Structure 1
Amino acid sequence: MTAAPAVLAPAPAADTAASAHPLPHIERAMAARRPGREAIDAPFAPLERIAHTLLPGLATLRPALGDTPLVPVPSRAGRGTVWLKAEAANLTGTVKARTAYALICAAVARAGTARVRLVEYSGGSLAVALAHLCAHLGLDLHLAVPHGAPERLVTALRRDGARVSRGREGTGFLGAMDEAARIAEDEDRYLLLQHCAPEAVSVHRERTGVEITTRLAREHIRPHVFAASVGSAGTLVGVAQTLRLRRPDCAAFAVFPAEAPYGDPEAPTGAPRMNGTGGLGHGLRQPLLAPYEADFAFADVTYPQALDAMRLLRRTQRVAISSSAAGAWLTASRALDEGPRGRHAVAVAAGRGTTEEWADAANR
């Protein structure tokens, strides 16, 4: 039996740079570009229109993004139904394709030119999406990945024409963030900075969230719960905003690894945890989530719990999802299974899972 994830009270507010750390480049970048609610709540569509005019190739990518399936599966104890937003149907196979597209649109629109040189950090899925889209668009891209990123990933990124650098050993994901910020300074590149990018929220508010509410309305389904694992928090915040326009009473859960919770006070490490999600370390809080903390409950899921849930869903439902998606399903299940029978939840299934995740799951 997979243990249910612990559900935590909302984390207390804290300054994003609350504790000093030896990663000055990303600290400067986040302090300069941390958005407020007004920026986060601004629409994405105007930026997209400008970007399409400046770089028409972006319009050819748009049809390959979105309109992904919403797949109903039982909750963990079978008392309700969790609708998985199956983002593996996107170009490059993950929800991060939507985010990559939005980041590029915003960069081109704000720069006022298609001749923009980009840099960004990623632990995997966003890097793959950015490399693929930039190769299609002919954009110059430099990516920073954590020191321990699989060589398989680095090879794939370089195959798509991206330059790749690694963060310093022992600095985890935050080290990749710092390396990207350093590259932006040294090479005069535009840092996409997903954690401070309002478009990472608005694209999901206007696209992913609308797709979910439209499908549920067609099925006459009322969602009681929404859960998503948190990377930059763009998907979580954007979809929650749209769901609550239709269903103000829908409970929303921000899901984090137990090994790296929101506002994690410890120094970052490369310890195994759900892929593509987690606290940044040194007490830092995701700037896209920080203004909305009171709107969410926080839940944590251990990596073994997520791996067991991946195996369970593949065995019983023939659904392959990533560890972060499994964490969202477990959290949504907990909320449903503690209440009356017959209720519904939505969980974001970010992708099908990496080779490494499924190898870890097989060894459980």
Structure 2
Amino acid sequence: MTAPVLTTPTAGRHTHIERALAARRPGRADIEAPFAPLERRALRMLPRLAALRPAVGATPLVPVSSRAGRGTVWLKAEAANMTGTVKARTAYALLCAAVARSGTAGVRLVEYSGGSLALALAEMCAVLGLDLHLAVPHGSPDRLVGVLRRHGAQVTHGPQGAGFLGAMDEAVRIAEREERHLLLQHCAPEAVAVHRERTGTEISARLAQEGIRPVALAAAVGSAGTLVGTTQALRTRWPGCTPVAVFPAEAPYGDGRAPGGARRMNGTGGLGHGLRQPLLAPYEDDFTFAETGYPQALEAMRLLRRTHRVAVSSSAAGAWLSASRIVDQGPRGRHAVAVAAGRGTAEEWADAADH
């Protein structure tokens, strides 16, 4: 699938983030650089980071049946991380990189997030004593904003009607105005590297131990670090494993429309205005793309809880559905992996109950 490339500013509304994405867009060599040396430098500069390391990673791999019951989908249960989502891994990698590259343990930070990454960064920065300013989309739940502020983070809302892209743009403005280091998750090669060296390696080791060859890996895409890094690890061992980039039907990859307010799988989606995730764009021809609507994801959340007693987020449910489609189309007894980003927010489960 080839998505459009943005060539002109989007009516002047998001020019700050467009410039930042263009300026820091990583190449393949950046994305494929190792994480471990960066982590070692960060730990020397800020030893308190070592306290976070045991609480991130080593999450279970849980087998459940595919949607039609013809095979098995192994859920990488990222709710076992500190802060309860896969974004704990991303936050840890971003903080290591910020400390190592800034040259100071007192780096002042800013980042944008719709929820899970914000929670992870706020909790970790509270432990580390780092000054954090977060930009969140207009209309973010009061529950989320309250938790972020209790952790000591400053919180600013993006403009009304601008969606997630508006929060991204606001974060760049804050970075310029307050002279803060912008983490910029969408251009962070360390977010790929940590999943290649940790998440993907964990999955590969467990499946190899079980004697299983996965036919597919599915993960819902926000910044794409989880999917790209985990794919790189699994395809080193199993080159024929099909990687599936799961997007919400409400906001597909490279979506040319302006960002909308339609509910969708949390933490996922195209950015709007034809922008593509910079961590995914160099590899997009290597991926299969799938779309799942929010109502279908909610239905899958309920089904997994009812039939397997597993609580997952809407994005995890979407990944399970996409992995199931591949497994169920072939011979019986095949296996796939789906990244289960978390257990789901209170708002998602309320939507699932009402649907």
Same fold (TM over 0.5): yes
Structure 2 equivalent of residue 119 of structure 1: 110
State whether structure 2 residue 279 is matched by structure 1 residue 284.
no
2:59–2:81 contact (8 Å) kept in structure 1: yes
Question: What is the rounded CA distance, in whole Å, between the counterparts of 1:204 and 1:241 in structure 2?
Answer: 9
SS in structure 2 at match of 1:223: coil
Question: What is the rounded CA distance, in whole Å, between the counterparts of 2:9 and 2:212 in structure 1?
Answer: 44
Question: What is the rounded CA distance, in whole Å, between the counterparts of 1:33 and 1:219 in structure 2?
Answer: 41
Match for residue 5 of structure 2 among 12, 15, 27: 15
SS in structure 1 at match of 2:159: coil
Once the two structures are TM-superposed, the CA of residue 253 in structure 1 deviates from its matched residue by 0.4
Match for residue 137 of structure 1 among 103, 128, 135: 128
State whether structure 2 residue 276 is matched by structure 1 residue 274.
no
Structure 1 residues 170 and 158, CA, compared in 2 at 3 Å: closer, same or farther?
Answer: same
Once the two structures are TM-superposed, the CA of residue 17 in structure 1 deviates from its matched residue by 5.0
Structure 2 equivalent of residue 178 of structure 1: 169
Match for residue 193 of structure 2 among 196, 202, 216: 202
2:3–2:274 contact (8 Å) kept in structure 1: no
Question: What is the rounded CA distance, in whole Å, between the counterparts of 2:102 and 2:56 in structure 1?
Answer: 23
Once the two structures are TM-superposed, the CA of residue 20 in structure 1 deviates from its matched residue by 2.5
Q: What percent of counterpart residues are identical?
A: 75
Structure 2 equivalent of residue 189 of structure 1: 180
State whether structure 2 residue 68 is matched by structure 1 residue 69.
no
Question: What is the rounded CA distance, in whole Å, between the counterparts of 1:271 and 1:138 in structure 2?
Answer: 36
Spell out the pairing of 1:1-364 with structure 2 (5 A cutoff): 10=1, 12-16=2-6, 20-21=10-11, 22-364=13-355
1:275–1:324 contact (8 Å) kept in structure 2: yes
- AA of the residue aligned to 1:165: T
Structure 1 residues 353 and 18, CA, compared in 2 at 3 Å: closer, same or farther?
Answer: farther
SS in structure 2 at match of 1:252: strand
Question: What is the rounded CA distance, in whole Å, between the counterparts of 2:215 and 2:48 in structure 1?
Answer: 39
- AA of the residue aligned to 1:250: C
Structure 2 equivalent of residue 5 of structure 1: none
State the superposition RMSD in angstroms. Answer: 0.8
Question: What is the rounded CA distance, in whole Å, between the counterparts of 1:122 and 1:17 in structure 2?
Answer: 25
Unaligned segments of structure 2, at least 5 residues? none
Once the two structures are TM-superposed, the CA of residue 60 in structure 1 deviates from its matched residue by 1.0
Question: What is the rounded CA distance, in whole Å, between the counterparts of 1:73 and 1:179 in structure 2?
Answer: 41
- AA of the residue aligned to 2:240: D
SS in structure 2 at match of 1:228: strand
Once the two structures are TM-superposed, the CA of residue 332 in structure 1 deviates from its matched residue by 0.3
- AA of the residue aligned to 1:198: P
Question: What is the rounded CA distance, in whole Å, between the counterparts of 2:241 and 2:97 in structure 1?
Answer: 30
Once the two structures are TM-superposed, the CA of residue 270 in structure 1 deviates from its matched residue by 2.0
Tell me the alpha carbon deviations over residues 254-295 of structure 1, each in whole angstroms, 9 at most, x when there is no partner.
Answer: 000000000011100221000000000000000000000011
- AA of the residue aligned to 1:29: A
Tell me the alpha carbon deviations over residues 212-242 of structure 1, each in whole angstroms, 9 at most, x when there is no partner.
Answer: 0000011111101110000000000000000
* Stretch of structure 1 that moved more, 17-26 or 67-76: 17-26
Question: What is the rounded CA distance, in whole Å, between the counterparts of 2:192 and 2:8 in structure 1?
Answer: 24
Once the two structures are TM-superposed, the CA of residue 199 in structure 1 deviates from its matched residue by 0.3
Question: What is the rounded CA distance, in whole Å, between the counterparts of 2:106 and 2:74 in structure 1?
Answer: 41
- AA of the residue aligned to 1:283: G
Tell me the alpha carbon deviations over residues 292-313 of structure 1, each in whole angstroms, 9 at most, x when there is no partner.
Answer: 0011010000000000000000
Once the two structures are TM-superposed, the CA of residue 167 in structure 1 deviates from its matched residue by 0.4
TM-score (norm 2): 0.99
Question: What is the rounded CA distance, in whole Å, between the counterparts of 1:284 and 1:24 in structure 2?
Answer: 12
- AA of the residue aligned to 2:173: R
Question: What is the rounded CA distance, in whole Å, between the counterparts of 1:270 and 1:62 in structure 2?
Answer: 36
Once the two structures are TM-superposed, the CA of residue 24 in structure 1 deviates from its matched residue by 1.4
Tell me the alpha carbon deviations over residues 22-58 of structure 1, each in whole angstroms, 9 at most, x when there is no partner.
Answer: 1111111111100010100000001100000000010
- AA of the residue aligned to 1:305: Q
TM-score (norm 1): 0.96
* Stretch of structure 1 that moved more, 265-274 or 139-148: 265-274
2:186–2:277 contact (8 Å) kept in structure 1: yes
- AA of the residue aligned to 2:294: Y
Aligned length: 354
Runs of 4 or more consecutive aligned structure 1 residues displaced over 6 Å after TM superposition: none
